[in-house]
Structure 1
Amino acid sequence: MNRPFLQMTNSDDHFLKRRYLPRAVLCLGLAFAGGCGGEDTRSFHVAGASSPPSQILLQTDWYPQPEHGGFYQADALGYYEEEGLEVRIRPGGPGSRVNQRVALKEAHFGLGRSDEIMVAVDRGLPLIIVAALMQHSPQALLLHDSNPVQTFQDLDGKTVMAGVGSNWVEYLRRRYNIRINLLPLQYGLAQFVTNPNFIQQCFITNEPFFARRQGLEVRTLLISHSGYDPYRVIFAHRDFVEEHPEVVERFVRASIRGWESYLGEDPSPGNAGFSPLNPQMSPAFIAYALETMKEHRLVEGYEERGERIGALSRDRLERQIADLHEVGLLSRILEVDEVADLRFAPEPLPLPLPAAEEAGAGGEES
């Protein structure tokens, strides 16, 4: 029997009043108040499977921060309300188990990475991607500027602090035929600050800011430059998508509007939505994270590659599946339709014609 989806009562609002620290502040070892992915005491009442939910719960993958700004912008500007939706945003954190929460129907939508969802589907979780959050991953390696490592090939024999089981680590090992020693990821910069040869996983939108505030000269190696570039995505339970495609469509459409506004217009409504939940975030940090997202076109992508906010490319998803299978992270080659429902995301933009074809197209008619 299908498990019904949660529906929230007003008492659920209390989790939005908790105080969370942003990822990078936690990296500096500061204490935080409230939960960070543990169970809470929210009360829910459950709607029948055929009933459209009156409220939508979005489970994020980390503490409230600019990387979620478009969702808060959509809420603040009434875009969800215009679509007939009441959206609650539940912050994540270490151990927030986004995939499991969505698979157990404890959230309607979750945020994650396309490679994670592919592996989860291969292992039997009923998840499906419905749109892209970011066209390009902000995942990177943080290095001191004096570190001799300049390329991924230079990582051979080096020690890197990274999340245990990170898919990109296995990809780098296989693609470059290198040996990487792993230290389990700790959300702190203490070892990095004291060791000029230390290398650790980071987000380009976060840790470099705080390292530089410590007076360090640092640089990053974007994992996407290795060829491993998963989308960051919005995903849902397959049952929810099949039962309520109109709700999914409205949520995706309003979220994309929120991101277009957050990146292209005044971001202050979105910032005002998440800043009180992370009071330790400074205006300088928020500005840095937002500017870095824009500089690297993480959310909107590159028009010349056919990318735009929310869009998913079938060809790119096929390549990601093939890469994951090649490095042994998938047991078989999945079909794109097993991991993504492309009905809701915008179509990729048409790719520009090669110069030779464009010249030919402009010639005189015979």
Structure 2
Amino acid sequence: MTRLSSLCATAAAVLFAAGCGKSPPPTTQTDDGSTITAIRFQTDWYPQAEHGGFYQALATGGYAESGLDVTILPGGPGPTATTKLASGAADIAMGRSDDIMRNIADGLPFVIVGAFMQHDPQALLLHAANPVTRFEDLDGKTIMAIPGSNWINVLKARYQIDFSIIPTNFGIAQFMGNPEFIQQCFVTNEPFYVAQNGAKPKTMLLADTGFDPYRVIFTKKAFLRDHPEAVKAFVAASTAGWRDYIEGDSQPGNALIQARNDQMSDAFIAFSIQTMRDNGLIGGNPTTTETYGQLLLSRMEATMATMVELKLISQPLDLNAVVAFDMVAELPAP
């Protein structure tokens, strides 16, 4: 099965779930007097390389060494990570910074505590022979995508174009059968399967529009209030896990991913990791000061300005209430 973040839950459903939260997991004392906090971390899809740093931290003991008992909960095409967190089924989750801004503007008690991808892997997938080469060329086209995705509004406004959306079915069958078909994808995912099935794909990374949200780690404000040290430790261990996964030996994380998802072949995982490296998705662009776990106020301000401009949120938010910047991991130079 191919992979896209399933972001289709309605705000009303999430808001309802937010009122049904369970108590946070317990913090226990060990015999030596140290503290262990249980954390349920909700991902946005089945186990895969795009989650590799988290599995690396779990497999190599990074979380345990930080005093955490972490359970990684897989996602899928059903209830979203946002819904799971709001309902109390998870303590920390992953998502996109622009989507979390919208959740907060809608009244959900969320707070961003870290970034794990400097650039989002969402892109448009086309056949290599498709004459569309610029975003402006999408005018009048039809794209299979997740309805309501923020980038749709951005593309239409920024390039003064219009196009139709058909809801995604999370597969590539229609794409394979139609050389003019265009669909939303992850550059780390669908292109691999397209090539495996004998076609030649090309992609247009949506971050290249200039609308470039982070992929982030977020939690409920109440959980952060009650467990600030555990949250900070989780962010730091996850960031270290990501650096190790991208720059070091990824095998521990890969083995755990494959044990939990038998659809993950060695070839596919290798493709995903190399694509993340090539595009600087995790560690950032090596020609800039971007680095693992970095989360800048200036970039968050730019994202919010676009969201307000396009009326995706009604008014600017206090970014110090949206992001707990003091939770962001600080790592030594490699």
Q: TM-score, normalised to structure 2's length?
A: 0.88
Contact 1:62/1:94 (8 A) holds in 2: yes
Which amino acid in 2 is paired with 1:69?
G
Superposed displacement of residue 54, structure 1? 3.4
Contact 1:22/1:278 (8 A) holds in 2: no
Task: Report the 3-state secondary structure (helix = DSSP H, G, I; strand = E; otherwise coil) of the residue aligned with 1:72.
Answer: helix
Q: 1:308 to 1:189 in 2, by over 3 A?
A: same
User: For residues 2 and 172 of structure 2, what CA distance do their matches in structure 1 show?
Assistant: 14
Contact 1:130/1:344 (8 A) holds in 2: yes
Equivalent residues in 2 for 1:202-221, closer than 5 Å:
202-221=185-204
Contact 1:60/1:110 (8 A) holds in 2: yes
User: For residues 131 and 297 of structure 2, what CA distance do their matches in structure 1 show?
Assistant: 38
User: For residues 89 and 347 of structure 1, what CA distance do their matches in structure 2 show?
Assistant: 23
Equivalent residues in 2 for 1:293-308, closer than 5 Å:
293-308=276-291
Contact 1:163/1:185 (8 A) holds in 2: yes
User: For residues 25 and 59 of structure 2, what CA distance do their matches in structure 1 show?
Assistant: 29
Equivalent residues in 2 for 1:81-100, closer than 5 Å:
81-100=64-83
Task: Report the 3-state secondary structure (helix = DSSP H, G, I; strand = E; otherwise coil) of the residue aligned with 1:54.
Answer: strand
1:238-279: CA deviation from partner (whole Å, max 9, x where unpaired)? 111122111111111111111111111110000011111111
Task: Report the 3-state secondary structure (helix = DSSP H, G, I; strand = E; otherwise coil) of the residue aligned with 2:67.
Answer: coil
Q: Is the counterpart of residue 188 in structure 1 residue 178 in structure 2?
A: no
User: For residues 44 and 68 of structure 2, what CA distance do their matches in structure 1 show?
Assistant: 21
Q: 1:282 to 1:49 in 2, by over 3 A?
A: closer
1:256 corresponds to which of 239, 259, 264:
239
Contact 2:98/2:303 (8 A) holds in 1: yes
Superposed displacement of residue 317, structure 1? 0.1
Contact 1:61/1:111 (8 A) holds in 2: yes
Equivalent residues in 2 for 1:259-298, closer than 5 Å:
259-298=242-281
Q: Is the counterpart of residue 57 in structure 1 residue 40 in structure 2?
A: yes
1:267-299: CA deviation from partner (whole Å, max 9, x where unpaired)? 000001111111122110011001111111101
Contact 1:70/1:256 (8 A) holds in 2: yes
Give the unaligned 5+ runs of structure 1.
1-20, 25-44, 350-366
1:302-358: CA deviation from partner (whole Å, max 9, x where unpaired)? 254321111100000001000011111001111211211100114699xxxxxxxxx
Q: Is the counterpart of residue 138 in structure 1 residue 130 in structure 2?
A: no
2:303 corresponds to which of 309, 320, 342:
320
1:153 corresponds to which of 136, 143, 154:
136
User: For residues 307 and 24 of structure 2, what CA distance do their matches in structure 1 show?
Assistant: 37
- 1:245 — aligned with what? 228
Task: Report the 3-state secondary structure (helix = DSSP H, G, I; strand = E; otherwise coil) of the residue aligned with 1:343.
Answer: helix
- 1:117 — aligned with what? 100
1:9-38: CA deviation from partner (whole Å, max 9, x where unpaired)? xxxxxxxxxxxx6638xxxxxxxxxxxxxx
Which amino acid in 1 is paired with 2:234?
F
Which amino acid in 2 is paired with 1:266?
D
1:129-170: CA deviation from partner (whole Å, max 9, x where unpaired)? 111010001000000111111100000010000001111001
Superposed displacement of residue 46, structure 1? 4.5
Percent identity of paired positions between Structure 1 and Structure 2: 47
2:3 corresponds to which of 14, 18, 23:
23
Task: Report the 3-state secondary structure (helix = DSSP H, G, I; strand = E; otherwise coil) of the residue aligned with 1:291.
Answer: helix
Task: Report the 3-state secondary structure (helix = DSSP H, G, I; strand = E; otherwise coil) of the residue aligned with 1:197.
Answer: coil
Contact 2:37/2:230 (8 A) holds in 1: no
Q: TM-score, normalised to structure 1's length?
A: 0.81
CA RMSD, aligned part only? 2.1
Superposed displacement of residue 103, structure 1? 2.2
Task: Report the 3-state secondary structure (helix = DSSP H, G, I; strand = E; otherwise coil) of the residue aligned with 1:316.
Answer: helix
Contact 2:36/2:67 (8 A) holds in 1: no
User: For residues 197 and 187 of structure 2, what CA distance do their matches in structure 1 show?
Assistant: 16
Give the stretch that moved more between structures: 324-333 or 303-312.
303-312
Q: How many residues align?
A: 310
Contact 1:312/1:347 (8 A) holds in 2: no
- 1:12 — aligned with what? none
Contact 1:66/1:286 (8 A) holds in 2: yes
Q: 1:121 to 1:76 in 2, by over 3 A?
A: same
- 1:333 — aligned with what? 316
User: For residues 150 and 335 of structure 1, what CA distance do their matches in structure 2 show?
Assistant: 38
User: For residues 101 and 265 of structure 1, what CA distance do their matches in structure 2 show?
Assistant: 32
Task: Report the 3-state secondary structure (helix = DSSP H, G, I; strand = E; otherwise coil) of the residue aligned with 1:23.
Answer: coil
